[in-house]
Amino acid sequence: MHRLIILGPPGAGKGTQSERLARDLDLAHVATGDILRRAAQDGTDLGRRAAEIMRAGLLVPDDVMIGLIRRELAAPAAAKGFVLDGFPRTLEQAKALDALLAETGWKLDAVLYLEVPEGELVKRAAGRRVCKKCGANYNLLASPPTRAGICDACGGELYLRDDDREDTVRRRLEVYRRLTEPVVDHYRSCGLLRRVDGLAPPDAVYRSLLGQVTGAAKA
Ligand code: AP5
């Protein structure tokens, strides 16, 4: 059983790696960006508001996100352990999570922090393609689909996320530096932060992350 957070700037590989960790360690994968994009696709009230904010490269208000995480962690799936991907993103969210975990008596094992230089992040975002139908993720440079524009897994159409356009990526990076880097400092001061080089190829990054998770479980 593990309770983990994966942190890092936009495009660092949080989704790629946390999906695999969740599968291999049998954890709930709680990815706030995916939840918001699904809500937007379903046309819910939250989804409509979030779509506009995401398109602008800004953050959905803290109270909305804290409510969403409270519901996700109360769901039966989270009882087996979880990896949070995309939350917390502000100091206020991190403090709300601390309080929520204190209520439940749950403790975090580790906060995995993927470090990737900014130039690489912009390249990765520009190359990312996502399947409209099943959500599978490709990268034109690192992991292209077999047929251009078509998902290998389900044959669905691949698209460029609205917030992956270069000017929006730069805005997301600026928001990350201003609002999310203090979250990194918060977990560093709690002694939970585990840094991993996210520039390496995906399998190497995964091995490092797994090493950190196993090490944290033994500690
Ligand atoms: P979200 O979806 O969480 O976006 P993000 O954090 O900006 O992260 P990304 O999905 O862009 O990247 P990633 O780190 O997951 O990397 P990935 O594995 O995909 O959030 C979107 C928006 O929702 C936010 O901007 C905000 O508006 C809102 N939101 C979400 N949570 C919120 C919160 N808590 N509070 C407020 N608002 C919130 O990889 C990226 C690309 O690189 C892929 O193409 C992948 O194939 C490739 N890649 C991955 N690893 C490697 C590697 N090692 N080498 C080469 N390529 C690689």
pLDDT tens digits, 139-156: 998 889 999 999 999 999
Average pLDDT over the chain reads: 94
Instruction: Kindly report, residue by residue over 49-96, the tens digit of the pLDDT.
Output: 999 999 999 999 999 999 999 999 999 999 999 999 999 999 999 999
pLDDT of residue 178: 97
User: Probe ligand 1: pick from 6, 14, 91, max atoms within 8 Å of CB?
Assistant: 14
Q: Which amino acid is at 164?
A: D
Q: Is 70 a catalytic residue?
A: no
Q: Which residue is closest in CA terms to ligand 1's atom 26?
A: 59
pLDDT of residue 216: 60
| Catalytic site residue from 3, 37, 89, 194 | 89
pLDDT of residue 215: 77
CATH architecture of 3-118+180-218: 3-Layer(aba) Sandwich (3.40)
Q: Are 100 and 73 in contact (CB under 8 A)?
A: yes
pLDDT of residue 179: 98
pLDDT of residue 2: 95
Domain locations in the chain?
3-118+180-218
Q: Residue 175 C-alpha to ligand 1 middle, in angstroms?
A: 13
Q: Is 151 left (phi over 0), alpha (psi -120 to 50) or beta?
A: beta
Q: What is the mean pLDDT of residues 153-179?
A: 94
Q: Residue 13 C-alpha to ligand 1 middle, in angstroms?
A: 7
Q: Cα 132 to chain center, whole Å?
A: 19
Q: What is the DSSP letter of 143?
A: B
Give the integer Cα–Cα distance in Å for 214 and 219: 9
Q: Are 39 and 54 in contact (CB under 8 A)?
A: no
pLDDT of residue 214: 85
pLDDT of residue 218: 54
